[in-house]
Amino acid sequence: MFHRRSLATLFATLLVGLLVGSALAQVELRMTWYDDGAEGVVMREILDRFEAANPDVKVVMDTVPYSSGILESLPLQLASGQGPDIARVTNLGGLSQYYLDLRPYLSDPGYWDENFGPFLDWMRPAGSSAIPGFMTQLTVTGPFINATLFEQAGIPVPEGPTSWVEWAAVTRQVAAATGTPFAMVMDRTGHRLAGPAISQGAQFLDADGRPAIDDPGMRYMMQLMIDWHADGTMNPDVWIGSAGSYAAGNEFFVNAQVVLYMSGSWQVGQFTNLIGDAFDWVVVPNPCGPAACTGMPGGAGVVAIADTDHPAEVARVMEFIAQEENLAEFYGRSLFIPGHLGLASSGVDFATDSPLAAAALTAFSQQVPLLHPTAYAMQAYPFNFVVFNAIRDRLTQVYVGELTLDQALERIQADIDEALREAGAN
The footprint of another protein on this chain (CB under 8 A) covers a number of residues equal to 90
CB atoms within 10 A of CB 102: 23
Residue by residue, DSSP assigns 336-354 as -B-S-HHHHHH--------
Is the C-alpha dihedral spanning 167, 173, 178, 180 positive or negative? Answer: positive
Does 16 engage in binding with another protein (CB under 8 A)?
A: no
Q: Which of 273, 346, 362, 366 binds another protein (CB under 8 A)?
A: 273
The nearest distance, CB 289 to another protein, in angstroms, is 25
Nearest C-alpha neighbor of 143 from the set 257, 285, 280, 270? 285
Q: Which stretch binds another protein (CB under 8 A): 76-84, 200-208, 281-289, 361-369?
A: 76-84
Scan residues 283-312 and list those touching another protein (CB under 8 A).
Answer: 300
Nearer to another protein, 83 or 217 (CB): 83
Regarding 176 and contact with another protein (CB under 8 A), the answer is: no
- Footprint (CB under 8 A) of another protein, residues 120-159: 148, 151-152
Query: What is residue 415's three-state secondary structure?
Result: helix
What is the closest distance, in whole angstroms, from the C-beta atom of residue 246 to another protein in the complex?
Answer: 8
Angle at 99 between CA 416 and CA 33, to 5 degrees: 90
Q: Which helix (H) or strand (E) holds 261?
A: strand 258-264
- What character string, x for contact with another protein (CB under 8 A) and - otherwise, covers 56-75? ----xxxxxxxxxxxxxx-x
Helix (H, G, I), strand (E, B) or coil at 300: strand
Phi then psi dihedrals of residue 88, to 5 deg: -100, 120
Which residue's CB is nearer to another protein, number 244 or number 373? 244
Phi-psi region of 256 (alpha: psi -120 to 50; beta: other; left: phi over 0): left
Task: Tell me which of 224, 337, 389, 412 binds another protein, using CB under 8 A.
Answer: 389
* 45 versus 280: smaller Cβ distance to another protein: 280
Q: Kindly tell me which residue out of 114, 166, 406, 418 binds another protein, with binding defined by CB under 8 A.
A: 418
Nearest-approach distance from CB 215 to another protein, in angstroms: 23
Least distance to another protein, CB of residue 87, Å: 10
Could you give the CA distance from residue 420 to residue 335 in angstroms, rounded to a whole number?
Answer: 36
272 sits near another protein (criterion: CB under 8 A): no
Residues in region 208-267 near another protein by CB under 8 A: 236-237, 240-246, 248, 250-251, 254-255, 257, 266-267
Length of the chain: 426
**Rg from Cα positions in the chain:** 23
Give the residue, chosen from 29, 86, 92, 94, that forms a contact with another protein under the rule CB under 8 A.
Answer: 94
Cβ count within 10 A of residue 340? 24
